[in-house]
Amino acid sequence: MTTAPTDQPDADHPRQTLWLDVISDADAPAQAERIAERIAQAAALLRAGGLVAFPTETVYGLGADATNAEAVARIFVAKGRPHSDPLIVHIPDASWLARVARDLPPLALAVAAQFWPGPLTLVLPRAASIPPLVAAGGATVGVRAPAHPIAQALIRLAATPIAAPSANRFMGVSPTTAAHVFADLNGRIDAILDGGPTSVGVESTVVDLTTDPPRILRPGGVTLEALRAVIPNIQGPADGAAANTTDAADAADAADETPVATLRAPGQLARHYAPQTRLLVFDAAGERGRAAVLAATQRARARGERVGALATDDEAPALLALGAQVATLGPADDLGAVAQRLYAALRSLDDGRVDVIVAHTFGQAGLGLALWDRLRRAAGGQLQAVEE
């Protein structure tokens, strides 16, 4: 990656990041004015070319004015992200599409009407007003309208489309709280709007509408099944349901070699969303997944290793009894809860207290596909096969 920016924040960058609490408390209506002021302050920073992290319904984004190439360049420096990885441009609703995209495919408005605001990014032909840097030099742009009220208010007040990747250091675990953002980016960005934990917890689904048939480049908060209702011929992710553990290893090699121009969705990097600690993900859901994680915990404990486990509520007691540190993901039958907690759980076990983290997948139906994708990438592109 020849275009990787330096690891240092700009010389003129503030050392300390401003923390703006915008969590609304139903018992304190007087807060509304203070929150509005803080959002206005953040919008002014964006208009001045600054960097502001803000909550969306998926994960926290690191925003900059998408029409200001210098501001956008600062995002790459703050994250340590290579310029080959394109950014998603955030708008409040489909009426702004003409500001960021051109030659809209006929499907675009129908899909937007169904899923926006929400966790869906559409890849469309890029308008000239959006600098090439946003799109890794490509002719397309990823666009989404986030559903979070703080994001909505911020973009409307800034009155400009906002380019925003997830607000974490490159390759790391995406942030679902302001504290996660602070841990990764304090001193490297101007401000963080703290709107509390995000609700969806995994990133948006990225759909390329410039190809025929349209294709999912990254599974996410909007499911393949829901998309099929509006785009019957939509293709699933290229490395999705069909990939087995061996293919995933090949994909890991390929991703390192892939020329920038052909890397259609850099979220496809085999290692991504990854903790520092070694992570073993067993590719089995339900009872088989539970048994695989228990057995791996037992083996690791027998070797004297400290084990962290990602576990649904019902799985926790047996793992705790084996001496594992457990981060709970909620009820086993609620994949929405699992997605919402996944990244915070991974981060909580990734502080050096354990030698290995163990987890299992959740099938590939519904949100299971996005969970499968993120768990696999967090584990470096490699899943552990489980005997039938």
**Site residues (vs Mg ion, CB under 5 A):** 166
34, HSE (Cβ side, Cα atoms, 13 Å): 10
| Options 52-60, 92-100, 236-244, 306-314: segment touching ligand TXA (CB under 6 A) | 52-60
Can you say how many angstroms the Cα of residue 257 is from the centroid of all Cα atoms in its chain? 23
Task: State the Cα–Cα distance between residues 13 and 52, nearest whole angstrom.
Answer: 13
Kindly tell me which residue out of 153, 206, 335, 371 binds ligand TXA, with binding defined by CB under 6 A. Answer: 206
Cβ proximity of 190 and 129 under 8 Å:
no
| Crossing angle between the packed helical segments 368-378 and 335-349, to the nearest 10 degrees | 10
Task: State the Cα–Cα distance between residues 312 and 293, nearest whole angstrom.
Answer: 11
Task: State the Cα–Cα distance between residues 254 and 174, nearest whole angstrom.
Answer: 23
Kindly tell me which residue out of 204, 223, 297, 312 binds ligand TXA, with binding defined by CB under 6 A. Answer: 204
271, HSE (Cβ side, Cα atoms, 13 Å): 14
Q: Which tokens sit at 42?
A: 């953040």
Among ligand TXA, Mg ion, none, what binds residue 224 when CB lies within 5 to 8 Å by partner kind? none
Give me the least distance between CB of 124 and ligand TXA, in Å please: 8
Give me the least distance between CB of 174 and Mg ion, in Å please: 5
* Nearest CA among 17, 365, 351 for reference residue 178: 17
Q: Does position 214 bind ligand TXA by CB under 6 A? A: no
Kindly tell me which residue out of 35, 66, 111, 123 binds ligand TXA, with binding defined by CB under 6 A. Answer: 123
Give me the least distance between CB of 95 and Mg ion, in Å please: 27
Q: Does position 165 bind ligand TXA by CB under 6 A? A: yes
Q: Which is nearer to ligand TXA, 267 or 308 (CB)?
A: 267
Cβ proximity of 292 and 282 under 8 Å:
yes
Q: Which is nearer to Mg ion, 219 or 289 (CB)?
A: 219
Q: Does position 58 bind ligand TXA by CB under 6 A? A: yes
Kindly tell me which residue out of 56, 176, 198, 328 binds ligand TXA, with binding defined by CB under 6 A. Answer: 56
What is the DSSP secondary structure assignment for residue 235, as one 8-state letter?
A: B
Residues that bind ligand TXA (CB under 6 A): 56, 58-59, 61, 85-88, 119, 121, 123, 135, 138, 140-142, 144, 146, 164-166, 203-204, 206, 217-218, 264-267
